[in-house]
Amino acid sequence: MKIDILSIFPEMFTGILTESIIKKAIEKQIVEIKVTDFRQYAEGKHQVVDDYPYGGGAGMLLKAQPIFDAVDAVKLPEKKPRIILMDPAGKPFNQKMAEEFAREDQLIFICGHYEGYDERIREHLVTDEVSLGDYILTGGEIGAMAMTDSIVRLLPGALGNASSAVHDSFSSGLLEHPHYTRPADYAGMKVPDVLLSGNHAVIEDWRRRESLRRTYLRRPDLFDSYTMSEKEEQWLEEIKNEEGTK
115 is catalytic: yes
d(CA 183, CA 195) in angstroms, rounded, equals 12
d(CA 162, CA 182) in angstroms, rounded, equals 23
**Was 135 annotated as part of a binding site?**
yes
**Was 55 annotated as part of a binding site?**
no
d(CA 6, CA 244) in angstroms, rounded, equals 51
Among residues 125, 166, 167, which one has the least CA distance to residue 38?
125
Query: CB–CB of 119/129 below 8 Å?
Result: no
66 is catalytic: no
d(CA 118, CA 130) in angstroms, rounded, equals 17
193 is catalytic: no
155, HSE (Cβ side, Cα atoms, 13 Å): 24
**Was 132 annotated as part of a binding site?**
yes
**Was 116 annotated as part of a binding site?**
no
d(CA 85, CA 89) in angstroms, rounded, equals 10
> Exactly one of 104, 115, 129, 176 is catalytic; which is it?
115
**Was 134 annotated as part of a binding site?**
yes
**Was 173 annotated as part of a binding site?**
no
**Was 112 annotated as part of a binding site?**
yes
> Exactly one of 153, 209, 210, 213 is catalytic; which is it?
153
Strand partners, 85: 110, 129
168 is catalytic: yes
Tell me whether residue 41 is exposed, middle or buried, using C-beta atoms within 10 angstroms of its C-beta: 0 to 12, 13 to 18, 19 or more. Answer: buried
Q: Where in the sequence numbering do the catalytic residues fall?
A: 88, 115, 153, 168
Return binding residues: 112, 132-137
Return binding residues for S-adenosyl-L-methionine: 112, 132-137
